[in-house]
Amino acid sequence: MKISFLLHSAYPIGGTITTTFNLAGALAERHDVEIVSVFRNRERPTFTLDPRVRLRPLIDLREEQDHPAHREPARVFPRAEGRYAEYSRLSDERIAEHLATTDAEVVIGTRPGLNVHLALQAPDHVLRVGQEHLTWGHHSPRLRTVLRRAYRRLDLLTTVTGADADAYGRGAWLPGVRVEAVPNSVPDPVLPPSDGRGRLIVAAGRLVPMKDYETLIRAFAHVAAAHPDWRLRIFGRGEERDRLRALIEELGLSDSAFLMGAAVPMESEWVKASIATASSHFEPFGMTIVEAMRCGLPVVSTDCAHGPGEIIQDGVDGRLVPVGDPDAFGAALLDLVRDDERRRVMGKAALENSRRYAPDIVVARAERLLADALAAKKAGRRPARAPGAGRHRLAAAGQSAHDLAYTAASTALHTVRGWRR
């Protein structure tokens, strides 16, 4: 198969970039794969891309930031999408041209706004695959209404958890669209796994409110009080850095809790630790949880929707605790800090259980789905209706006239003009 990924930007640090690079590189073992980055802002990506995967941008912001069309608002990319302000008439035009002229058999969108472009503008002979890296419930009512309408033109929609696939089946009503869960994959570790001896707890991710590092830091205060030889390292960059630094100082943890900045790759940091943590209010999947487990670490995580509960077996390879409860989080950390043997056993279980997220297993599932869906499309077959689907009214309360009107207009234009096929 010739497979093309459509990505917002391939150049900074981000979870969707990591998973796209991982999947594209694994698929390149047997397929012709490219990544099309809507935007480019630097010479090379931060992450290393498999040399077999071609990368090309549609808009180089270093040269086209002041392009007249880039100053005009987007008309196809949904206004209710979180990245809307970064899109423009120029991106509308470049994406439409790319989709109209692609020679790929399979095109995979990687965020809701790009999936809308794909659904409305890709030629009918192309297998149109939308990926959901957030969740159905995370999207605003306005955006969900746009997605209900546009996503009916997709052939396949993949989510990263089974819970979210069920949510789409119940809430999106996408007759004829196959909805399946395909988790993110994490490459096989290069370094030997953690031996569980280091007095070190590690977390990684953007320093943003959703990650709730305040709860983690307050939980670690319980550990530091009872076991002052233990340390906490938090890796990542973001808007919360100054506030978290002030909290660390306020709690008297300046000698034991550290904001480390970004580390790429993280594997060499995970293997130094004995416990990994994730304290988010919301986690569509939990990429860092899998990364840590693949390095032999038990993970203490909040039991937030949707990912952690599908990844961690509570009491077997990690612990699940209530969201926003530093006392419960601290108690779970202390249970592992105080019991070397339990850490060792749970770390071994984490290493074994996380194998299901290895690239060969995840990619084999993705390949089967793509091949089946492509064969069905070529044969003129459509998959069965998603379970739990039901009828709904198009114009949900609060939906903008802009999004509804342009979605309808784009569908009509696609039909009449064939998007230059």
* 86 touches 113 (CB < 8 A): no
Average pLDDT over residues 13-37: 93
pLDDT at 243 over 50: yes
**Per-residue model confidence (pLDDT) at position 382:** 60
pLDDT at 416 over 60: no
Question: For residue range 116-175, what is the model confidence (pLDDT) as tens digits?
Answer: 999 999 999 999 999 999 999 999 999 999 999 999 999 999 999 999 999 998 999 898
Between CA 157 and CA 310 the distance in angstroms is 19
pLDDT at 406 over 60: no
Beta strands in 47-199 (DSSP E): 54-60, 106-109, 127-132, 156-159, 178-181
pLDDT at 348 over 50: yes
**Per-residue model confidence (pLDDT) at position 402:** 46
Between CA 287 and CA 289 the distance in angstroms is 5
Average pLDDT over residues 302-319: 94
**Per-residue model confidence (pLDDT) at position 411:** 40
Average pLDDT over residues 376-380: 89
Between CA 146 and CA 167 the distance in angstroms is 16
Residues 2-185+361-420, CATH architecture: 3-Layer(aba) Sandwich (3.40)
Q: Residue ranges of the domains in the chain?
A: 2-185+361-420, 200-357
State the chain's mean pLDDT as an integer.
90
Question: Tokens 């342009």 — which residue?
Answer: 406
* Percent share of the chain, pLDDT over 70: 90
pLDDT at 264 over 90: no
Average pLDDT over residues 329-336: 98
| Same fold? 2-185+361-420, 200-357 | yes
Q: Which of 163-177, 237-251, 336-350 has the lowest mean pLDDT?
A: 163-177
> What are the residues whose beta carbons fall under 8 Å from the beta carbon of 217, sequence distance 6 or more?
232, 234, 244, 247, 248, 251, 253, 257
**Per-residue model confidence (pLDDT) at position 383:** 54
CA 415 to chain centre: 32
Residues 200-357, CATH architecture: 3-Layer(aba) Sandwich (3.40)
pLDDT at 421 over 90: no
**Per-residue model confidence (pLDDT) at position 413:** 41
Produce one character per residue of 126-150: b if its CB has 16 or more CB atoms within 10 Å, e if not: bbbbbbbbbbbebbeebbbbbbbbb
